[in-house]
Structure 1
Amino acid sequence: MSITVKEVAKKAGVATSTVSRVINDHPSISEETKRKVRKVMAELGYVPNVAARNLGKQIASAIGVILPPLDSKERLGNPFYLETIEAVNEEAGLVQMSVAVASAPDFATLLENVKRMHLQKQVDGFILTYSVNHDPVIAYLYENKIPFTLIGQPYEHEENIVYVDNDNQLLGKQATQFLVDRGHERILFVTNTTRENLYFERYFGYQKALMMAGLPTWPGVKFEEPEDYLAFEETLKTVKPTALVVIDDLFAMRIMQLASMYGYKVPENLSVISFNNSIFSTLTHPYITSIDVDVARLGKLATQKLMDQLNNRLTTGVKVIVPHRLILRETVIENEMTV
């Protein structure tokens, strides 16, 4: 026997119209009432007839999560995207929304997938999990006034785009300063992505920390082609770094293995700090010192801001910054070397 709206209303002590508005996440209902009604719905096992509701409103009750082109093993294996989808799915479930994922090996195919999802009304809006320059996907969403939230900082139209992000320049600065405070003076910034905004912001932060300390900066060490891995040995010999700031935990693991091949030991003669505080930071010893960007909160807030747009509670651009924290582990030690 299925539970009815009347039964939910009775137990919650509200009108049936209030229950209906809660189901539709109507802005006229307070958050306290919404929580109370949703709790009763969960206790009674009430499931709204989403299909019937959507038919009348011409909506899909679904969110599209757009992943960046999965064009490398690092991208395919990066837990950031899975953790983001998990957080979006959990938050969307609170308002009876489902989640669809758009992914592809390249931007052209990804754009076609997003267009199809939109034109066939499979989703009501999108969450982008990345930010790159000259992205055809974000251009399509922006130009067609399709509701979306960006996880990351946009390259343009910042005043009109809703986005959720960490302060990546501050992340880069604090990670580098952490090394400087421990006596490191020859520090390299290492990355396997150069299109994403987070690279530029974290690298700017790296430069800022070193310049403020009166220390030399170096160009970002970029791994984009197979020969870059071979060139890394020469870079280590030339610069003689005692520490590395690496773009994320997964890539930090690879760089640590590579450095080991070239005779470096982490952290004995090469300290490493990275970002995300993902599962990879504690898979093998030495555990990686990493800055936790709170992926779950990024996904949760991105979903909430998209829902605000879908319910006409948000009509202009807005920026939401998520706090971060440094997790000290085993890959950073005091530098006692003199070069």
Structure 2
Amino acid sequence: MSITVKDVAKKAGVATSTVSRVINNHPSISEETKRKVRKVMDELGYTPNLAARNLGKKTASAIGVVLPPLNTKERLGNPFYLETIETINEEARKFNMSVAVASARDFDTLLANVEQMHRQKQVDGFILTYSDKYDPIITYLIEKKIPFTLIGQPYTQEESIVYVDNDNQLLGKQATDHLIDKGHQRILFITNTTHENLYFERYFGYQKALMMANLPLFPVVSFEETQDYPEFLEVLQETKATALVVIDDLFAVRIIQLAQLLGYKVPDDLSVISFNNSIFTTLTHPYLTSIDIDVASLGSIATQQLMAQLTNQEMHSSLRVVVPHELIQRETVLNKKFK
């Protein structure tokens, strides 16, 4: 049988409301009463659940960080999310806030987790670390008028959302421009997602760069399903591509390994550029040329903007904050002009 607040109150000889106030460390309760109630809680082995702990409190003093569905190895192993959580946690500490993480393998379960966190007053607001076309969570947060910020550009309702992002279209353009500047003319865009907003923006930027340079455009090469991998050799042979723009570092490492298995040397036969400038850029040779998206700023600014909403410092109906980026040249892009 589980121990309840009533059990603690009965043994301590106090009202249940007093036990709730002790759980919340309310200043109206004397230190002597707090010590007595806490002693009884220890003796009975009572652990307050989050709903009880937050009973009567206006705030939970916590931020919910929502990760996208972790349904692939790339998602599970992508350091972007761990780096983002750490940055948010570091910034949250400055506001005496803790961080709770919501994760799942699909959107239905993820939404259920977010709903539970909100109902039980586990968190005061949320930071979404992604922008996905099929995401039901933004709709839920807006309908319930729950404070949140978004890392990424929303698909809809920009007028209702505070979000922080890179200029992903510019990132895609500059990555492609870099390859063009090095003498590449047949360039492919490679991705493992086609429903996240950063994919659309980076692919638009890729297309813009090629159009402005009067170079051929190619359809996106998507590896969302395992059966897509065997077709890669055929795509390379048909397009005669000499360079690839890849959606992020982790997937770029996988593509480089695949290309090498197919007999292509990087960068001699195939140049590669990607995004995030994560730890994967220097784990294997050749070191990966990548665009640094400044994850630290994305996480800290998202946290600051959420705290501004929670403390009513700045009440924005919508706000976009653009974080600058930097291209880091390493070893995976060959300068064909000097070959």
Fold shared, TM-score > 0.5 on shorter chain: yes
Q: What per-residue deviation string (whole Å, max 9, x for no partner) do you get for residues 40-66 of structure 1?
A: xxxxxxxxxxxxx97664210000000
Q: Give the corresponding residue for 1:74.
A: 74
1:337 Cα offset (Å)? 10
Q: Give the corresponding residue for 1:245.
A: 245
Q: Give the corresponding residue for 1:135.
A: 135
Question: 5+ residue gaps in structure 1?
Answer: 1-52
Q: Say if 2:281 and 2:287, in contact at 8 Å, map to a contact too.
A: yes
State the one-letter code of the partner of 1:60: A
Which of 1 and 2 has greater Rg?
A: 2
Q: Give the corresponding residue for 1:330.
A: 331
Q: Say if 1:54 and 1:61, in contact at 8 Å, map to a contact too.
A: no
Inter-CA distance 337–235: structure 2 relative to 1 (3 Å threshold): farther
Q: Give the corresponding residue for 2:122.
A: 122
Identity of aligned residues (%): 72
Q: What per-residue deviation string (whole Å, max 9, x for no partner) do you get for residues 126-153 of structure 1?
A: 0000001131111101111100000000
Q: What per-residue deviation string (whole Å, max 9, x for no partner) do you get for residues 289-320 of structure 1?
A: 00000001100000000000001123211000
Q: Give the corresponding residue for 1:314.
A: 314
Q: Say if 1:189 and 1:244, in contact at 8 Å, map to a contact too.
A: yes
Q: Give the corresponding residue for 1:193.
A: 193
Q: Give the corresponding residue for 1:35.
A: none
Q: Say if 2:241 and 2:270, in contact at 8 Å, map to a contact too.
A: yes
Q: What per-residue deviation string (whole Å, max 9, x for no partner) do you get for residues 265-296 of structure 1?
A: 00011100000000000001100000000001
Task: State the secondary structure of the residue aligned to 2:245.
Answer: strand
Q: Say if 1:193 and 1:199, in contact at 8 Å, map to a contact too.
A: yes
- The answer to whether the aligner puts 1:280 opposite 2:256 as a matched pair is no
- Measure the CA separation in 2 of the matches of 1:92 and 1:54: 19
Task: State the secondary structure of the residue aligned to 2:304.
Answer: helix
Q: Give the corresponding residue for 1:295.
A: 295
Structure 1 residues 219-230: aligned runs within 5 Å: 219-230=219-230
Q: Give the corresponding residue for 1:259.
A: 259
Q: Give the corresponding residue for 2:218.
A: 218
- Measure the CA separation in 2 of the matches of 1:142 and 1:187: 40
Q: Say if 1:61 and 1:124, in contact at 8 Å, map to a contact too.
A: yes
1:240 Cα offset (Å)? 1.1
Task: State the secondary structure of the residue aligned to 1:101.
Answer: strand
Task: State the secondary structure of the residue aligned to 2:158.
Answer: coil
Task: State the secondary structure of the residue aligned to 1:58.
Answer: coil
Task: State the secondary structure of the residue aligned to 2:219.
Answer: coil
Question: 5+ residue gaps in structure 2?
Answer: 1-52
Q: Give the corresponding residue for 2:203.
A: 203
- Measure the CA separation in 1 of the matches of 2:338 and 2:74: 32
- Measure the CA separation in 2 of the matches of 1:336 and 1:301: 41
User: With structure 1 as the length reference, what TM-score do the two structures score?
Assistant: 0.83
Structure 1 segments, 4+ long, off by >3 Å, are 53-57
- Measure the CA separation in 1 of the matches of 2:250 and 2:220: 18
- Measure the CA separation in 1 of the matches of 2:195 and 2:298: 20
State the one-letter code of the partner of 1:237: Q
- Measure the CA separation in 2 of the matches of 1:217 and 1:119: 49
User: With structure 2 as the length reference, what TM-score do the two structures score?
Assistant: 0.83
Q: Say if 1:242 and 1:335, in contact at 8 Å, map to a contact too.
A: no
- Measure the CA separation in 2 of the matches of 1:56 and 1:70: 35
Q: What per-residue deviation string (whole Å, max 9, x for no partner) do you get for residues 179-218 of structure 1?
A: 0011100000000011100000000000000000000111
Q: Give the corresponding residue for 1:21.
A: none
- Measure the CA separation in 2 of the matches of 1:54 and 1:309: 20
- Measure the CA separation in 2 of the matches of 1:201 and 1:219: 15
Cα RMSD (Å) of the superposition? 1.7
Q: Give the corresponding residue for 1:30.
A: none
Task: State the secondary structure of the residue aligned to 1:163.
Answer: strand
- Measure the CA separation in 2 of the matches of 1:232 and 1:268: 18
- Measure the CA separation in 1 of the matches of 2:54 and 2:296: 28
- Measure the CA separation in 1 of the matches of 2:298 and 2:54: 28
Task: State the secondary structure of the residue aligned to 2:330.
Answer: coil
Q: Give the corresponding residue for 2:91.
A: 91
Q: Give the corresponding residue for 1:11.
A: none
Q: Give the corresponding residue for 1:10.
A: none
